[in-house]
Amino acid sequence: MSIELIIFDMDGVLVNSEPAITFASLQTLKERGIDAEYEDFKPFTGMGDDKFIAGVCEKYGAAYDPSMKARAYEIYIERADEWVQVFPWSKPVLTALHCKGYRLAVASASDLVKVECNLRQIGIDTTIFDAIVTGSDVARKKPAPDIFLKAAEKAGGEPSRSLVVEDAVSGVMAAKAAGMTALGVTTSFDRNTLLDAGADRVTDDLSELPAIVAELFGVRE
């Protein structure tokens, strides 16, 4: 089997933005009188930013409304240069795979405004992507497969010939539910946790991705 489409999750795969969105969410909730803790957000990683904030609100008996996410995004974008860390592999790996002729897509549970902010931080030409799909484009969030199936549809790729790169348990589960190959990267969860979630392969260093793709699916000239 050959791979024609590589779908990247954004947060935890191309950028280390979990601390940034966590700090922004903490500040947002504090403005609403909710004294949450950093670790409160961990169980909701990868499930989309509505759930990321709403899950913590529920823990503290507070009602969630979408204006909380909007405020968190305002803070996030204001502090992105300071808080969002671009992984060193992101731009080189995306460029290398594009040059080899793979179709590329981004599928993030976050909203487009945050995805666009992160892509600006990476400094990548967004025209290399055949599809950019966000949480706003699907009704069901990860671990449902919808976002990856939508990415494959928009990019013109077959699910069975698609590779998903994910850092979160919910994302790995979504990829497998979509009938895709799942590569886990240990930026948010450890190797065994990702394997238990169904990852076909796990790496600690995504700069290895072109070599992993060649090893698993053959070299593309």
Q: What is the chain's length? A: 221
Its pTM stands at: 0.89
Which of 16-20, 26-30, 123-127, 214-218 is predicted least confidently? 214-218
121, 86 in Cβ contact below 8 A?
Answer: yes
pLDDT by residue (tens digit) across 59-83? 999 999 999 999 999 999 999 999 9
- Residue 182 gets which letter from DSSP? E
Mean pLDDT across the chain: 95
Q: What is the pLDDT of residue 14?
A: 98
Q: Is the pLDDT of residue 221 over 70?
A: no
d(CA 42, CA 96): 32
Tokens of 33: 């009188």
Q: pLDDT tens, 121-176?
A: 999 999 999 999 998 899 998 999 999 999 999 999 999 999 999 999 999 999 99
Which of 11, 49, 146, 167 is an active site residue?
11
Q: In this model, does residue 109 exceed pLDDT 90?
A: no
* pLDDT score of 135: 87
Asked whether residue 209 carries a pLDDT value surpassing 80, the answer given is yes
Catalytic residue among 9, 40, 146, 167: 9
- Domain positions in the chain are 5-16+85-217, 18-83
Give pLDDT, residue 18: 87
In this structure, which long-range contacts are made by residues 81-84, counting pairs with CB atoms below 8 Å and at least 24 apart in sequence? 81/121, 83/17, 83/19, 83/20, 83/23, 83/24, 84/15, 84/16, 84/17, 84/20, 84/117, 84/118, 84/121
Q: Does domain 5-16+85-217 have CATH number 3.40.640.10?
A: no
Residue 11 annotated among the catalytic residues of the structure = yes
When pLDDT is cut at 50, 70 and 90, the band that residue 194 belongs to is very high
